[in-house]
């Protein structure tokens, strides 16, 4: 497994660092927020501000799906590791060799 998981608050540089690592190591970049937007058909800002009831489950499902990939750079928001199911997905990825980095 060649996976790096980036966690951090908005503006911490997850996307920027993710793009650099993706280019450097020729690995795909997966952003959980982008996957959630695609799956729910709305921008993250709209989902959060509107308190969309589907958001938490969609974020959990997309994080699990992306963290189960064999390789890549995965970005997660700062609150996502607080969700027990997502925390378990992160730990499974770590047990399979993923490197987890928190940006601040």
Collapsing DSSP states into helix, strand and coil, what is residue 41? coil
DSSP β-bridge partners for residue 7: 76, 102
Q: What is the pLDDT of residues 57-77, one digit of tens each?
A: 999 999 999 999 989 999 998
Residues 6+ apart with CB under 8 A from 85: 60, 64
- Residues in the chain predicted with pLDDT less than 70, given as ranges, are 1
User: Residue 1: what pLDDT?
Assistant: 58
**C-alpha–C-alpha distance, residues 93 and 56, integer Å:** 20
pTM for the whole structure: 0.92
């Amino acid at each position: 497994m060649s996976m790096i998981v980036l966690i951090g608050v908005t503006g911490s540089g997850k996307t920027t660092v993710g793009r650099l690592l993706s280019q450097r190591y020729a690995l795909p970049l997966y952003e959980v927020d982008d996957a959630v937007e695609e799956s729910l058909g709305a921008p993250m800002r709209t989902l959060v501000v509107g308190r969309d009831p589907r958001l938490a489950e969609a974020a959990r499902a997309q994080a699990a799906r992306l963290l189960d990939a064999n390789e890549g750079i995965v970005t997660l928001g700062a609150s996502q590791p607080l969700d027990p199911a997502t925390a378990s997905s992160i730990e499974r990825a770590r047990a399979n060799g993923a490197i987890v980095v928190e940006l601040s």
